[in-house]
Amino acid sequence: MHKTWGGRFQGDTDQRVEEFTESISFDRRLYAHDIAASMAHARMLAEVGLLTAEEAEAIVAALQTIRSEIETGQFAFRVELEDIHTHIERALIERLGDVGRKLHTGRSRNDQVATDMKLWTRDALDTIVGLVRDVQRALVEAAERHADLILPGYTHLQRAQPILASHYFLAYAEKLERDRTRLLDCRDRMDELPLGAAALAGTSLPIDRESVRKQLGFARIAANSLDASSDRDFLIEFVFALAMIGVHLSGWAEEWIVWSTVEFRFLDLPDAFCTGSSIMPHKKNPDVLELIRGKSARVVGDLHRLLVLVKGLPLAYNRDLQEDKQAVFDAFDTLAACLRMAASLIRAARFRPEALAERLEDGFLDATTLMEHLVLAGMPMRSAHEAVGKLVRKCEERGCRLTDLPPEEYDAIRPGLSPGVYHIVGVRNALRAFRSLGSTGPEQVAVQLRRWRERLDTDARM
């Protein structure tokens, strides 16, 4: 808390306080957004007569120079100047004197930092949306690559029904589509300009917030100055969307970790995405997937951190809000890295068709389809459920599959059933029987895949 702006204070700030209150170590990454907002503010001040055109031009030119110095590593950051806003304004004053001192007219660091964070978050949202789309492309590519591959589908981690691998990959594309639209909804809700709210009550100076809105590309002006200076809903919503993506990636990573084990042998992970053991020479550990699963916890933790940070804050700005940035930056950095790794790994990994085929008929994946065949033949659903359950029990006792049962076992359930039943049992027959919209039936999956390809092709043309 340097005394640059403190005529009310006497003496120097305790060095321990400077070290405790500094944020430049992490908020320096806002420099480009702070400078963009300051240039828009300077131009607006000239438009309303609070600066001359020459003064505004001098401020904008100096800010551009400062930005260049930061980008090239020539700018000196000092703990005693506390934050990125003070650093930039102090550098401006050192270059322009009293003209530099005029820049802060009609604004406060409260609405300044809220604007900077919105500008940064808007860019971060666009980055994440693009990365999500790339993972979706990788999933659709994998769906096309494994178009004819059949997987065992699971509930409770027990074999349930057969599914196409394409259906599996598109399931995650759908999850990520909800995430993507959540991000876009967040972007729309946060697209309001806080600058002009000043400390909390606005200003008596004749500023033009509409001018700044247009320059910075916001859709709307924040309607209430008291709310605008303290609002961090947009950060919490953003990090919530990131946490949801992290949860989805973590579930996918868990499946692939399990599927790559010797016990499952479904999946071959590329060596480039695995590591060895320091003591066991045979090991091939899925470290990237484990870290995606683990790093998702960091993003969830960042969300909790933000919620707890704001839960008891009164209106308007409170210094507690300095602590929002590290959580937001960490969530963004962590999730962006996970998405990049996920897209690369999905493109590089391959299933093991032979290993899958060896055990595909195990686990009675066709039992539910057989039950539904009995329903179509006129048997009440619960009766059909019980009948197939008894057949499964017989198979377990004999160590065989439903396809191995003799015709009399089926005819005992319903006379005349056996002639058509062998076109129903068996995993491939069961898979072909699916017909409901959105199901794993080949025709339905082809519809889903075509829709996804059209969606991605449209994006590529835009």
Residues identified as active-site = 156, 277
Residue 442 to residue 431: CA distance in whole angstroms: 8
Q: Cis omega (within 30 of 0) on the bond before 316?
A: yes
Q: Are 194 and 221 in contact (CB under 8 A)?
A: no
Residue 171 to residue 168: CA distance in whole angstroms: 5
| DSSP β-ladder status, 267-268 and 350-351 | antiparallel
Q: Provide the residue type at 454 as one letter.
A: E
Q: From residue 435, how far is each of 159, 167, 430, 431 by CA, in Å?
A: 21, 13, 11, 9
Output the DSSP codes for 68-85.
HHHHTT-PPP-GGG-SHH
The phi, psi pair for 48, rounded to 5°, reads -95, 0
Residue 416 to residue 411: CA distance in whole angstroms: 6
Q: Are 194 and 118 in contact (CB under 8 A)?
A: yes
Q: From residue 330, how far is each of 197, 209, 425 by CA, in Å?
A: 28, 32, 51
Query: 3-class SS at 217?
Result: coil
* Residue 400, number of CB atoms within 10 A of its CB: 11
* Residue 157, number of CB atoms within 10 A of its CB: 8
> Burial, 121: exposed, middle or buried (Cβ in 10 Å; 0-12, 13-18, 19+)?
buried
Query: 3-class SS at 346?
Result: helix
Q: From residue 72, how far is each of 81, 95, 236, 432 by CA, in Å?
A: 20, 18, 32, 61
